[in-house]
A and B are shown apart, each in its own frame.
Chain A
Amino acid sequence: MTITVKCFASLAPLQPKNAGAFPIAPGETVARVMERLRVPEGGASLIFVNNVHRQPDTVLRDGDTVGFFPPLGGG
């Protein structure tokens, strides 16, 4: 099982080399992926799974796309 990982803004340095096919175990959560990427505590305030805002306890599936953003604003 693999997912696509996207780390944006100040989290960009955490983007893994295999971001387009990042392997996950069955039942793996967003929180576990964040641990593996070493996203600091509270560092990702916005998490998107397949373009929808989700919480860290979301269980991922094969082919999902996960985006991580730090706190940000604009407009």
Chain B
Amino acid sequence: MDTILRIDVGAAGGPKATPTPVGDYAGLGGRGLTSAIVATEVPADAHPLGPENKLVIAPGLLSGTAASMSGRISVGCKSPLTGGIKEANAGGQAGQLLARLGYAAIVLEGARQGDDLYVVRISKDGVTITADPSVRRATNYQLMDKFLGEYDKTGAMIAIGTAGEMGYGNSTVSITDMEGRPTRHAGRGGVGAVMGSKGIKAILIDAKGAKSRKPADPEAFKAASKAWVEGLEKHPVTGEGLPAYGTNVLTNVINEAGGLPTRNFATGQFEGASKISGETQAELEVARGGSATHGCHRGCIIQCSGTFVNKDGRYVTKQPEYETVWAHGANCGIDDLDVIAELDRLDDDYGLDTIEMGATIAVAMEAGVAKFGDGQAAIELVREVGKGTPLGRILGSGTATTARVYGIEHAPCVKGQAMPAYDPRAVKGIGVTYATSPMGADHTAGYAVATNILKVGGDVDPLKAEGQAELSKNLQIATAAVDATGMCLFIAFAVLDQPDTFQALVDLLNAYYGWNLDAAGVAAYGSKILAFERDFNQRAGFTSADDRLPRYFKREPLAPHNVTFDVSDAELDSVFG
């Protein structure tokens, strides 16, 4: 991973790829590398869809090695949704393969010439880029049908659907899974639109002949790798809970805790929760001949995903994640898993972030565009988004824009990005993360739900303001470091609870790179990434006023606990103060 592949989309005669040395960015990976490049090279006042913005796609520090769980890939840019720096990351096959081909990152940069759409092909023999008129307005699954034969055995596809091509604030970059399906998405913040603005529709990776990356100290790496796997397998969450039920096991937990945002965050419990729970979902999948335990990339041992099939046993989509089931389910008052699976499929196909899409539909429902609970209406709305009708374009611009268009105060957004599946009034720690993360409302940036609700990594009362700022701060720093490694964030459940598993992760990095990192060094690494991001956002015009939840979360109590968000502004400012 000594090379950054820079693709100048404005070069004479069409986009031109140039391998460049990693240079000053050495030692950075994943989110660390995307945020460093964006903060260093993109003017903070750039328009997100203008020529000065860049799209950076980077595997993690440990991607492409033999270390288990290292398949995450980061996609960074200035966000069309938030106007701030963005890193969205995804699983799937591409991260491992890009790393094995020696690339620390792909950077799409420059001013697009004309309106041709291009397909990039990367293999160990080099890079080719060709204009392909047939991909225009193709959805992700249509791209799969077209290109699967090229990448199914030893490759992967990175692509945008119609949402990215149309420049939506809600648009993903899709990454194919082990079956070659476009089910993994760098979802948040409209990264797909930035790829679309560069005229690149798909990147086909063929890693045939590429070898697993070799560590500086193979023996130490092997030992650390063994301890790493043992640690993940022995922890009850990573070893048992996630494989059995997937992420949607949270529906019942968060509902029981009174923090499941329902009908556009109007209340904290959904009467249909058990019908869309992970337990019901797993039972349905298995009964129909699908699967409730499946990984998104080779080398995953947690296997939190699955395969959702319809009544006839035909593939619909991958197992919808908790966030998706919440966004399209409880938050829209919908209690039908088949409807939710169909919405998940459509989101993946068009290239839409399921969180943002579900939150947007809920706002539209509050505005009277459709009724809460009307699944068919929700499906039709997402189809409008895919088609690019005027209404679809409004909805595709995101939750905040939709609320503004319809005159609705209840836009559950921070920095223009919709909140995920935990009401910040009943899970106050995650509220601090929503408010203060440089990414906008993002649960993965500092998953205080673990400590507030799941009692992993300690126990901080979710209903009290005390201790939440400190908790969120520490988690945001640790998460930034994990996001640089290429490790799936779910490793955090084991890492937070088991010091020897945390040490195994540090040992993996040290053995691979010949470093001498310790716990303080990991924290410094995470802090450095956040500093890049905060600095960019400040230069882009963000102030402490942007590190706040919408006012109504302080004013309107949430049932059943009848709580408001009462973490003070001073405490919020202390997170990065």
Contact = CB atoms under 8 A, between A and B. Distances in A.
Contact of B493 (A8, A52, A70, A73): A73
B544 to A, nearest CB: 27
B476 to A, nearest CB: 15
Interface bin, chain A: 10 to 19
Interface string A11-48: 01000000000000000000000000000000001101
A75 B444 contact: yes
Nearest to B322: A74
B247 interface: yes
Nearest to A45: B455
B455 A73 contact: no
A51 B455 contact: no
A6 B241 contact: no
Contacts, number: 93
B560 A51 contact: yes
A67 B453 CA distance: 13
Nearest to B304: A74
Interface in B229-249: 236-238, 240-242, 244-249
Contacts of B450: 73, 75
Contact of B244 (A6, A9, A46): A9
Nearest to A51: B258
B87 to A, nearest CB: 17
B454 A72 contact: yes
Given A48-B256, A51-B256, A74-B250, A10 B244 contact: yes
Given A48-B256, A48-B257, A74 B236 contact: no
Interface residues of B, number: 43
Given A71-B241, A73-B454, A51 B304 contact: no
A9 B279 contact: yes
A72 B461 CA distance: 18
Contact of A74 (B248, B257, B461, B462): B248
B247 to A, nearest CB: 3
Given A9-B244, A12-B279, A46-B454, A72 B249 contact: yes
A51 B280 CA distance: 21
A12 B454 CA distance: 18
A51 B454 contact: no
B220 interface: no
A44 to B, nearest CB: 11
Contacts of A72: 236-237, 241-242, 245, 249-250, 253, 454
Given A69-B253, A73-B242, 15 more contacts: A9-B244, A9-B279, A45-B455, A46-B455, A52-B561, A53-B461, A70-B241, A72-B241, A73-B238, A73-B241, A73-B454, A74-B278, A75-B447, A75-B449, A75-B490
12 contacts: A8-B252, A45-B236, A46-B453, A46-B454, A51-B269, A51-B560, A67-B256, A71-B454, A72-B249, A74-B247, A74-B321, A75-B450
